[in-house]
Amino acid sequence: MLSVRNGISRRGVIGTLLAGALAAPHARADVAPLRIGYIRTMVRHPMISLLDQPTPDAGLAGAKLALDDTNTTGAAVGQTFELIDVPVRKGADLPAALDKLVGQGVRFVMTDLPVEGVLTLADAARAHGITLINLAAPDDSLRQQDCRGNLIHVAPTRSMLADALAQYLVWKKWTRWLLIVGSYPQDQLLAEAYRRSAKRFGAKIVQEKVSADTGGSRQTDSGVVQTQQQMPVLTQGAPDYDVLIAADENEVFAGYLPFRTWDARPVAGSAGLEPVTWDASSESWGGTQLQNRFVRLFNRRMMPLDMQAWTGIRMIGEAATRSGSTDPERLIAYIKSPDFGIAAYKGQLLTLRDWDLQLRQPILLSDGRTVVSISPQPGFLHQVTELDTLGVDRPETKCKLQ
Amino acid sequence: MTLRDIILSLPSPLPVTVRLIRATYAMTVTPRVARTSRAMTMGGLALLALPVQAHALTAYVSNERDNTISVIDLDAMKTVKTIEVGQRPRGIALTPDGKFLLVCASDDDTVQMIDVATLQIVGELPSGGDPETFALGKSGNPLFVSNENDEMVTVIDVPTRKVLAKIPTGVEPEGIAVSPDGKIVVNTSETTNMAHFIDVATHQVVAQVLVDSRPRIAEFKHDGSELWVSSELGGTVSTIDPVKHVVRKKIHFEIQGLRAEAIQPVGIRFTKDDTTAFVALGPANRVAVVNAKTDEVEKYLLVGQRVWQMAFTPDEKYLLVTNGLSNDVSVIDVASRKVIKSIQVGRLPWGVVVSAQ
């Protein structure tokens, strides 16, 4: 079995998923496979760059790779893992989707859903003893007033992302920010995160502007002529500033800002220098190997959501390996214990904040071509771990886990 | 290229010994060179037999970023030559006869053979994709290469340069160690987090031992009684019973003023008597001196930045360690357990090996 493990593992796992079948290639008669559900939205907002167009397997590809990596270890210790992919459309009945997974013996469900969907599922999951792993929703509220004892977060919060960028800008001494905010509620939340970061790390927002979504499509033939005119106007007349920060989660305007601002200033946030969990150019700490495995299997580059899904699966796999069990209760206990840590190509083990079940993690700052820096930045000290300089720390939390 | 050409082609600011050799050669280029040199060595002038090994001890350092090998004269304690090699050189070793230097050119998917006498690349071995590091069998053959991208260990017959086997191990194979009796080769896998024991005769994985996160280097004690495996992210070294295939103990490291996350063990070296181990601690910028009988850490030596790999001089007087981020090699005096020198090399120095000649 060992001699053919790798080849079979790769083809077998992917084949299993495509066929929608449940039997894994390694399944031993005596050990039941651990099944992991994955409920993911198929609703993706349009992107500004043609290079960033949504792919149907966004996130899923990362989960498949992690499943494969985990099954390689599992084969050595008699554990097998399976993924049940549940793509959902807008307005889908999420509790019904969850019920179906319960019927298949699932106790871990990863979610790629917006905040409302995550909350709905978390409350429905409780009755079934299911633990959710939030891969995508960055809302601080889910780790604060709306935190749940059965809801683990791999996705970083908006405040973690904003803090990661802010630390770097402060390290650069680019402390005067022009903040341009989109017109969606998520943009307001992101802007609030930047305001909080500015206050925490000693930056100053010299002015805020709003860029409203007036509808229309993102890319248009010869649209470039208009954006060349519009962006200087949008950024004209600001007080002197060092860096423009865009809060635009829905890709309405931020992507048009770099090189088009009225003043010659760098852009960061939702375009330019972006805080992300992963970048296809990240090569540190063995990252190159992960990138290569990913491209080889999926013929595309690995995106942040893929990394978040990879990490979610690997957390379960790592807990199973270390605890020597696939019993869900033991896995959850291990993941929540101080012994838990997951290696995810970030140069240190990622651990779980016990006060809100948020995964601690370094944040990459990417210009889309290279990793410019990785936060936390040197000099931002913390009494427990520097990773807790990103986001809401224990003394500030409003979370009461139940 | 004759011996004489090589000597005369050496760059001009040379250590005294080499300059003397140049002079000697200019005068007496005869077939009796070998005998002359032996006589002269006895007379106090070192090592004439092979001019480029004219240094009493020579260290070779692979510079991952520069695509070069730095050649260090350990008498002068400085880099005396830089050899251009393939892309992303990492793992580096000498053949047991000391004649060839083997270098993993990871991004060229090959292992290059460098003739130590001429410092020319004289051949390549079919290493498989992305070779990171390797180990030679006890007789100098075969070569076991970890293919980081391919989840394999490739076994190569060195004389014929043929692939004998490709052995699947775990995800991201890294460290390779051959047991002192030559019967077992151990490969660590960074994402599977195991040490895989491979039977050299059958090429089968016979045991797998789970260790802490991201295992990097495996190293046997010289008497074969124990295998140590460093876990870079776990921050520990596991001491493993190579017969029962179980972890006996985990060695932890604590350095005042440093966060636990910054302590990332990589390189491991045992003194020949197996009483002392040195463990390179990566971004902690320190090498731990460990009592290999009691597994207690006795001292931490401050070296350069991001220390990974290490090599003893054959007499074990010095231990050389590569500091990736400060582009230098620290020289540790083994007896006094002190860092005595730092030698500038190329960018991102990765591996180091010392020539016995």
A293/B259 Cβ within 8 A: no
> Distance from CA of residue B63 to its chain's centroid?
12
Dist CA B188 CA B146 (whole Å):
9
Q: Is the ipTM of this complex over 0.90?
A: no
pLDDT (average), residues B202-220: 96
Q: Using 50, 70 and 90 to split pLDDT, how confident is the model at B10?
A: very low
B261/A385 Cβ within 8 A: yes
Give the closest of A2, A322, A343 to B214, CB-based.
A343
Residues on chain B touching A320 (C-beta within 8 angstroms) = none
Place of tokens 């959902």: A88
Residues on chain B touching A292 (C-beta within 8 angstroms) = 130, 149
pLDDT of residue B4: 46
| Ranges of each domain in chain B | 3-42
Locate the chain B residue with the closest alpha carbon to A71.
B192
Locate the chain A residue with the closest alpha carbon to B259.
A385
A73/B193 Cβ within 8 A: yes
Q: What is the DSSP string of A336-374?
A: TSTT--EE-SSSSEE-B-TTT-BBP--EEEE-SSSEEEE
Give the closest of B149, B152, B259 to A386, CB-based.
B259
A64 versus B8: which is more confidently predicted?
A64
pLDDT of residue B357: 65
Asked whether this chain's domains A2-156+279-361 and A159-274 adopt the same fold, the reply is yes
pLDDT of residue B132: 86
pLDDT of residue A30: 54
φ/ψ of residue A2, rounded to 5:
-65, -40
Q: Tens digit of pLDDT for each residue in B143-172?
A: 999 988 888 999 999 889 999 999 999 999
**Token duo for residue B120:** 């020319």
**Which residues of chain A carry a pLDDT beneath 50?**
1-29
| Inter-chain contacts counted by CB atoms under 8 A, chains A and B | 70
pLDDT of residue A34: 96
Domain A2-156+279-361 has CATH 3.40.50.300: no
**Token duo for residue A146:** 């709306």
Interface probe, candidates A73, A296, A318, A385, chain B, greatest B C-beta count within 10 A: A73
B172/A2 Cβ within 8 A: no
B192/A2 Cβ within 8 A: no
> Distance from CA of residue B206 to its chain's centroid?
26
B171/A73 Cβ within 8 A: yes
Strands B143-147 and B152-157 turn out to be antiparallel
pLDDT (average), residues B252-267: 94
Interface probe, candidates B90, B261, B350, chain A, greatest A C-beta count within 10 A: B261
- Stated as kind and residue range, the H or E segment containing A119 is helix A115-126
pLDDT of residue A23: 35
pLDDT (average), residues B138-146: 92
pLDDT of residue B56: 74
| Ranges of each domain in chain A | 2-156+279-361, 159-274
Q: Tens digit of pLDDT for each residue in B101-130?
A: 999 998 899 999 999 999 999 999 988 878
- Sheet of strand B349-355: strand arrangement: B78-84, B68-73, B58-63, B349-355
CB-based contact, B41 to chain A, within 8 Å: no
Give the closest of A289, A349, A385 to B148, CB-based.
A289
pLDDT of residue A77: 84
For residue A378, whether the previous peptide bond is cis, meaning omega lies within 30 degrees of 0, is no
Residue closest to A101 by CA, chosen among A71, A74, A131 = A131
pTM: 0.84
Dist CA A82 CA A131 (whole Å):
16
**Distance (Å) from the alpha carbon of B75 to chain A's nearest alpha carbon:** 35
Dist CA B110 CA B89 (whole Å):
10
H helix runs in B102-183, sequence order: none
* C-alpha pair distances (Å), B353 with each of A359, B53, B192, B334: 41, 14, 28, 16
B191/A321 Cβ within 8 A: no
The answer to whether the Cα torsion of A266, A267, A268, A273 is positive or negative is: negative
Superfamily of domain A159-274: Response regulator (3.40.50.2300)
CA neighbours within 13 Å on the CB side: how many for A250? 21
* C-alpha pair distances (Å), A83 with each of A35, A312, B150: 6, 12, 24
